Amino acid sequence: DKREVYAKVKASNLYDKKLQLYTISESLVGQPIGIGRMMAFAPGWLENQSVWTHMSYKWYLELLRAKLYDEFFTEIKTGFVPFMSSKVYGRSPLEASSFIVSSAFPDERLHGQGFLARLSGSTAEFLSMYNLMAVGRAPFVIEKTDDDDHALALKPRPALPKWLFQSDGTASFLFLGKTWLTYHVKDGFFESDDNIWEMDIEKIEYEMDDGTTGEVDGGTLGKTVAYAARNRRVKTIDVYY
C-alpha cells in the first residue's frame, strides 16, 4: 500500500523532525570506513545524513504520481525550497542547493542551510511536479471525435491545494512558457471539502494571439485550440469549475 510505505518512511530515521525534511541516509555511526567517502564527512554534511534536495524532490514527485495529494501538499510546505525561510536556508529561495545541512550536524547554526557543492539535479524533478500540479499527467491527448476520427485535444487536469489559490478564487501559471492558464473556482470553494482534482470543469474560455476568442462547455479543448496551444499561439486559457 502506497500510503503505508509513506508512513513507514516518515516514521524512520530518514526523517529529520526538526527541519521536517528527509535525509540521504540514517546515522552512519559504527559503519566501516570501507563503505566510502561518506564516512569522511561529519554527520549532517553531504553523503553523511544531509538533505539532498534532488533526492527529496524525487520522493515528493513519487508522492504526487501516487496521488497521495494530502501527504504531498503537507510535505512541500517544508520541503520545497521556495517555501523555506531564507534566513534559515541562507540563500535565495529561488535557488536550489546540492544539499541542506540536517539537524545531525554538530554546529546547530548551520541546520537547514543550503550549500552548492556542485550543480543540483532538483530542477527536473521540480518541473515535473510543477507540470503535474498545473495541468496533470497528460494535458494533450488523442480523442475520438464525432466523425469517428481521432484528433489532438487539450484536457487540463490540475492537482492544486486550496492554499495555492488567490483569495479571489484563481490560480494561474504559464503553460508551455507562453499561455497564461487560469483556474477559477466558485464562492464557497474554500469552505467546502471539495478538491479541484475531484471536480468537473464547467467551461473553458480562450483567446488566441490574433485576438480570436472562444468558449467550450466541459473540460476539453478540441484540435484547433489544442494545436494552437501546443504551437504556442494561444494567449490565455481560463478554466471554470
DSSP code per residue over 82-110: GGS-HHHH-S-TTS--SEE--TTSS-GGG
Give the torsion through C-alpha atoms of 221, 173, 69, 102, to 10 deg: 150
Contact (Cβ atoms closer than 8 angstroms) between residue 140 and residue 153: yes
pTM over 0.75: yes
Per-residue model confidence (pLDDT) at position 121: 76
Per DSSP, 200 falls in state P
pLDDT at 149: 81
Q: For position 144, what pLDDT does the model report?
A: 83
* pLDDT value of residue 117: 65
> What grid cell was written down for 94?
529561488
Strands (E), the chain: 15-16, 21-22, 51-52, 99-100, 114-115, 140-144, 150-154, 170-175, 179-184, 203-208, 213-217, 234-240
Residue 116 has a pLDDT of 87
Average pLDDT by consecutive 10-residue portion of the chain (241 residues)?
A: 97 98 96 92 96 96 98 97 95 91 98 84 91 97 82 97 97 97 96 96 98 97 96 99 97
Q: Considering only CA atoms, which of 49, 62, 182, 213 is closest in space to residue 129?
A: 62
Q: What is the pLDDT of residue 146?
A: 74
